[in-house]
Copies of this chain bind each other. A is one copy, B any other.
Amino acid sequence: MKISTKTRYGMRVMLDLAARYEEGCTPLKDIAERQGLSKKYLEQVVAPLAAAGLLTVTRGYAGGYQLARAPRDITLADVVSASEDGLELMTCTSDLLACERADSCPSRRIWGGLQDAINDYLQRQTLADMVA
């Protein structure tokens, strides 16, 4: 139940980009400096966010990253889900086949409820909400 550094940094990058959404693309170097993080490591942090289509990338000279959509159209669920490769707390809540006891398992209901609470919160909030 811990949030990884990768996800935390990913959120900071997204928030940083959200605050500059109008200004076109931003090189990672600038973000790294502002956030006090290693640029090299941020490259890896950013990769899954770009792969998930949350960022538009401009390569080459004067390149950088920009949010692929307006901050109001990117939810926290989008960001966390991309960084953590899904929001699932465990395999058995989504994948019925993961456990033969799944259908009668009372603890599955517990985790399912927790999962819903988490998903609800993350889907309600957008980057725009958090920047403001």
A interface residues, Cβ below 8 angstroms from B: 1-4, 7-8, 11-12, 15, 36, 76, 80, 84, 87-90, 101, 106-107, 109-111, 113-114, 117-118, 120-122, 125, 130-131
Identical chains in the assembly: 2
Q: Please, which residues of chain B bring their CB within 8 A of the CB of A12?
A: 107
Give the distance to chain B from A94, nearest Cβ to Cβ, in Å: 12
Q: Given A8-B107, A15-B107, A90-B8, is A1 in contact with B114 using a C-beta cutoff of 8 Å?
A: no
A117 CB contact (under 8 Å) in B84, B90, B118:
B118
B90 lies within 8 A of A1 (CB)? no
Residue of B with least CB distance to A132: B106
